[in-house]
Amino acid sequence: GLRPDEDGNLWIGMMYQGAVARFNPKTEKFQTWSLPADLNKDYTQVNEVNPIHSKVDGKVWVQDAGTYTIYRLDPVTGKFETFKPFPDPSPNIYDIAADPENNVYFTVFGADQIGRVDAKSGEISLFETPTKNSNPRRGSIDPQGRMWFGEWGGDQFGMFDTKTQIFKEWKPPTPWFFPYDVIGDKNGEAWGGSTMSDRVARLDPRTGKFVEYLLPKTTNIRRVFIDESTNPVTFWCGNNMGAEIIKLEPLD
């Protein structure tokens, strides 16, 4: 994952190097923080970093896909706190998203849960999706406090309202969509890309209506992005099958 903090610095998980990096675009310099030796195993895999609300308490959330663990980094001291939601063997903690209080939510791939770590108490809570074995993958929290995620195993868009703790699910009209990632936009709509059906889908959760956009060639869409500086918004993603970047501009 490559995500910015509120100052525009870019943070990235360094995967099998067992570390987190921050890049300052103004100085063009990197700073790195490595996991301590007792946590940095051969199979440690630091994928995701979420610094977006780190100014709340000065902490940055980190996910380790190798040990299915969440860490919290204090960049000033370089110390990592450990949060392990499951005993071993564990389902895969796949992605992390921070809310405005810098509590962190996470998707549990290989199961059917959204989790939460309370930033103040450290308490871990788990919430089951309505669909069993839904396999939530990527996730993000919109300005309304709704966590959007792809239910890859359930072939659905998933949403968890962090305020009411209520789930909602929507199935795209074309079968075998299998969304990897879903993201909300400023208009209250949600966008996702298909890993299987060569389509992008746009959902209006107020009506449950989807608009699907058939792409011109074979694609496999993973991470998706919305540019909200345009009107209407612009959808961006990569094509794993063609070494391409895809830009979609809706007409309405």
Q: Cα 126 from chain centroid? A: 17
Residue 130, pLDDT score: 98
Round to whole Å and give the CA distance between 148 and 138.
8
Pairing relationship of beta strands 104-109 and 29-34 according to DSSP bridges: unpaired
* CA distances in angstroms from 92 to 66, 84, 88, 96, listed in the order given: 9, 11, 11, 12
* CA distances in angstroms from 20 to 35, 58, 81, 94, listed in the order given: 8, 15, 14, 17
Could you tell me if 133 and 112 are in contact, meaning their C-beta atoms sit under 8 angstroms apart? yes
Round to whole Å and give the CA distance between 5 and 27.
15
Round to whole Å and give the CA distance between 194 and 250.
17
Could you tell me if 46 and 19 are in contact, meaning their C-beta atoms sit under 8 angstroms apart? yes
Round to whole Å and give the CA distance between 72 and 63.
9
**pTM reported for the whole predicted model:** 0.96
Residue 1, pLDDT score: 85
* CA distances in angstroms from 143 to 5, 111, 224, listed in the order given: 16, 27, 17
Could you tell me if 70 and 62 are in contact, meaning their C-beta atoms sit under 8 angstroms apart? yes
Round to whole Å and give the CA distance between 55 and 206.
33
pLDDT of the chain, 252 residues: tens digit per residue = 899 999 999 999 999 999 999 999 999 999 999 999 999 999 999 999 999 999 999 999 999 999 999 999 999 999 999 999 999 889 999 999 999 999 999 999 989 999 999 999 999 999 999 999 999 999 999 999 999 999 999 999 999 999 999 999 999 999 999 999 999 999 999 999 999 999 999 999 999 999 999 999 999 999 999 999 999 999 999 999 988 999 999 998
Q: Which among 7, 19, 3 has a CA at the least distance from the CA of 223?
A: 3
